[in-house]
Structure 1
């Protein structure tokens, strides 16, 4: 029986996620409804993607009895309210990253999911790419020996987009793209909390971070460094350095389609889309969607690949980074 999806929001990321779902077997994944704050937007989205039901409110989606899981694609200042709406309605949820604005909100979402006995996962899609799965396998086998350093960069010019610069829209490089660098480091170090966090950065006049550089120290003298920027193009690569070699994502580390292991490169292409995409390699969201299906089939309430503990760790480290850089959102003082 197919996993029946409801799509919450008719924006760009929801479009790409729906296109990604269509690369999976229809007997496994079906999109049965879409909801937007404006009914006309939902109807237009439904027509484009051949979805049978369109709702002009998220509440209507929450009460639809024929939905197994909801994909939440609203911008992150609205993640808390939206996730609580669906978890309290006993709906399973896949919520776009970052799961919330801070660790306090993340805890509230996770508590609600547990109280209502529903599945919930933060959509850190990078972790489910075949290249990322291969990295975990190689590390477990000790392919590069003991990992001593992880380095990651993600920078693209985004300051012309209001969502990335306005504080009320959750703007800032750290929450938008820096999370990819941080989650990669946390994945390599198996969800271990860093012993020391040192962050510095540059903020825009709007009070959000434009460029951030972070150094992390872990147990056994293992280190990590990452840079994120919404002002300039960076190398956008990630590298794991061990005592016996290294593993490198040579480009677009947030959606990896190639991997270099001790200089030898392997390609991991994603499927072609049936409609134009808004973001690079977005059909790669199929991997996280399939993870959700497998978890639901097994009766699990969280994924071992992107667990609730993983989401909380990301939020707590992000909180500290923002504190050191001087970025404060209204949600931090509520």
Structure 2
């Protein structure tokens, strides 16, 4: 499978390293940037065959099978529209789009044109997801009705985090992982959400706290932010103990404890190249089957998460330029 990348930033570099590690199954064939010089530098660094100074030019290349979109959130909608118009399959970084309206338009176009489009929320594709679910469902920590998850990095110097015109803020960049963590393991049957927020001078969220109440009676307590570093743990609280997932953004292990904090079980998750490989391999398999969505991140789930984030931003008064919520 030949992959073309749109955007030549840091996330694109991780994908290039990832695919190099699974070179028998896929390869980065092309890189496109609005700067030809930047694309050529990227191509040289990763030994990529084609470098393009425009996205349109790369999408005309018949050898490109899948396009990985690694641009800021604000550009995803237009980038995906362009890919679909050129009948190119898409693996788009999170957050999928700025808002639900854009996401629904993209997925409708994908269906009309019979083009694979999926969101690259990597934690949904990783084998750690099933291991966590199986561990919790085994009953080792009893009945689980509460989880907590946090994801904070000290990255306020990154323009993409603070600029409204880039759809900045902690929620779309970091909180999206917390929401996905909660819904992966507690489901989508949400009764209500309570939240609090701290905004930057530019009007985007720099810290948020979300409490998600499920109709089952379960509760998820979630926080994300970009002004400080957190432990990034996900913790399941059970009637007979608790289980700690190390790093909800790229899970490395799960450890179960009893009510006296005595370790019951520890599982290290499988060794990975970077973690991105699982979404790439699923796209490869789904393309071969002629389908247009990945089972690990169905279209309806992408829309569901976007609706949650829209409702939170509306409550907080975080609106991006030209947007109506």
So what's the TM-score if we normalise by structure 2?
0.93
> 5 Å matches for 1:229-240?
229-240=225-236
Distance across 2 between alignment mates of 1:330 and 1:105: 14
Per the TM alignment, residue 196 of structure 1 is displaced from its structure 2 partner at its CA by: 0.2
- Structure 1 partner of 2:250: 255
Contact 2:67/2:91 (CA < 8 Å) preserved in 1?
Answer: yes
Higher mean C-alpha deviation, range 108-117 or range 263-272: 263-272
Residues 1:110 and 2:107 are matched in the alignment: yes
Contact 2:211/2:222 (CA < 8 Å) preserved in 1?
Answer: yes
Distance across 2 between alignment mates of 1:12 and 1:176: 14
- Give 1:121's match in structure 2, choosing from 118, 121, 132: 118
Residues 1:319 and 2:310 are matched in the alignment: yes
- Give 1:156's match in structure 2, choosing from 150, 153, 156: 153
> What CA deviation, in whole Å up to 9, does each residue of 1:234-265 have, x standing for no partner?
22100123345433213x22011112134422
> What CA deviation, in whole Å up to 9, does each residue of 1:200-235 have, x standing for no partner?
111011000011001111112111110111112222
- Structure 1 partner of 2:19: 21
- Structure 1 partner of 2:210: 214
List gaps (5 residues or longer) in structure 2. 258-262
Contact 1:101/1:331 (CA < 8 Å) preserved in 2?
Answer: no
> What CA deviation, in whole Å up to 9, does each residue of 1:54-100 have, x standing for no partner?
11100011111111110010111000000010012111100000000
Q: Secondary structure at the match of 2:3?
A: strand
Higher mean C-alpha deviation, range 295-304 or range 102-111: 295-304
Residues 1:73 and 2:70 are matched in the alignment: yes
List gaps (5 residues or longer) in structure 1. 273-282
Distance across 1 between alignment mates of 2:322 and 2:73: 11
Q: Secondary structure at the match of 2:318?
A: coil
Contact 2:144/2:238 (CA < 8 Å) preserved in 1?
Answer: yes
Distance across 1 between alignment mates of 2:239 and 2:66: 43
Distance across 2 between alignment mates of 1:232 and 1:124: 22
Distance across 1 between alignment mates of 2:184 and 2:170: 20
Per the TM alignment, residue 143 of structure 1 is displaced from its structure 2 partner at its CA by: 5.2
- Structure 2 partner of 1:226: 222
Q: In structure 2, do the counterparts of structure 1 residues 317 and 301 end up closer, same or farther at CA, with 3 Å as the change threshold?
A: same
- Structure 2 partner of 1:11: 9
Q: In structure 2, do the counterparts of structure 1 residues 245 and 303 end up closer, same or farther at CA, with 3 Å as the change threshold?
A: farther
- Aligned-residue Cα RMSD (Å) equals 1.7
Q: How many residues end up aligned between the 2 structures?
A: 319
- Give 2:285's match in structure 1, choosing from 258, 269, 294: 294
Distance across 2 between alignment mates of 1:15 and 1:57: 18
Per the TM alignment, residue 155 of structure 1 is displaced from its structure 2 partner at its CA by: 1.0
The structure 1 segments of at least 4 consecutive aligned residues displaced by more than 6 Å after TM superposition are none
Distance across 1 between alignment mates of 2:185 and 2:231: 20
Q: In structure 2, do the counterparts of structure 1 residues 294 and 146 end up closer, same or farther at CA, with 3 Å as the change threshold?
A: farther
Per the TM alignment, residue 115 of structure 1 is displaced from its structure 2 partner at its CA by: 0.9
